[in-house]
Amino acid sequence: MDETEKLSWARSDIESCCGFHSKKFTGVNFVFTFGIGVVLTALFYLVLLPFRGRGIQLIDMFFHGGAEHRSTIPYFTMLLTGWALAILFVKTRKLRTQYRALSVRILPDDPNFVLSPLTAREILDNMYRKVETPRRFLLLDRIERALSNLKNLGNISAVAECLNTQAANDDNYLSGSYTVLKGFIWAIPVLGFIGTVIGLSEAVGGFGAVVADGADIEKLKSSLGVVTSGLAVAFETTLIALVMALFVQLVMTFVLNREELFLDACADYCHRNIISKLKNANLTEPGE
């Protein structure tokens, strides 16, 4: 990042730039992501629409009606999928903004610099000059809390404990930000199963009506053929749901791994630039 450029959350965060209330760190605004999900779902169907009704089963199964009397369940499946992908997209953009804090140099270049209650104020002032609302950035929020305790209480030994406690809190918060997304991954296959059950009940119900009418063997064979083709259509909703859930799960795993790497980078930054300086301070105190 350019040293002359002041890091701003309002100008960097995708939710703030679009006029929505921005969630903490990599948390997402669900109204904002739902809007993106609707747009993604609409674009998906606009791409498939010109090929609908041309006998391509892999395309027709995403639409309702037709000779097979397909249900509307795939629409809801794709909407949840689009919403989930929108959440992951926004989290990726917010994570990129969080990474920018790692390039902010708030400590002096002097390798002999010692972090103490007196110099903590200097570091905080330097942070405020280079960053607008540091608490919006996970790394800087962690450092600000630790240095504020050091400046106000003067307890050097408590700084490392404060950093470790805040690191655990940040890890819990970021893990909790995936709760809704994991719910979507659970709900998408369930929608598919519901669509399959609906198709099965219609197919078997039609066959049961033919049997109840006392039809001859030829009509039973014909009706049985309709049932088997209906079963194939019924299982299409489950196929769509399982594929979409697998895709969302893989993307979520990739994004979650990036967030875990970011947390490791923040912990490493704090150890190299904060805790190591406190150790130097401890070494210099006996000689004062």
pLDDT tens for each residue of 118-129: 888 888 998 999
| Type of residue found at 251 | V
Encode pLDDT of 176-233 as tens digits. Answer: 999 999 999 999 999 998 888 877 776 666 555 555 555 555 555 555 555 555 666 6
Question: In this predicted model, which residue has the larger pLDDT, 69 or 258?
Answer: 258
Mean pLDDT rounded to a whole number for the chain: 84
State the pLDDT at residue 225. Answer: 53
Name the token pair of 128: 């405020």
Rounded Cα distance, 83 and 78, in Å: 8
Helices then strands, each counted (H, E), the chain: 11, 2
Q: pLDDT: is 144 or 218 the higher one?
A: 144
Of 161, 125, 135, the closest CA to residue 146 belongs to 161
| CB-CB neighbours of 42 under 10 Å | 13
Angle ∠(10,14,16) on CA atoms, nearest 5: 40
CA atoms of 13 and 8, how far apart (whole Å)? 8
**Residue 138 contacts residue 168 (beta carbons within 8 Å):** no
d(CA 256, CA 249) in angstroms, rounded, equals 10
Cα–Cα distance measured from residue 239 to residue 76, given in angstroms and rounded to the nearest whole number: 14
**% of the chain with per-residue pLDDT over 90:** 49
Query: For 245-258, b where at least 16 C-beta lie within 10 A, e where not — what string?
Result: beebeebbeebbeb
Q: pLDDT digits over 77-102, tens only? A: 999 999 999 999 999 999 999 999 99
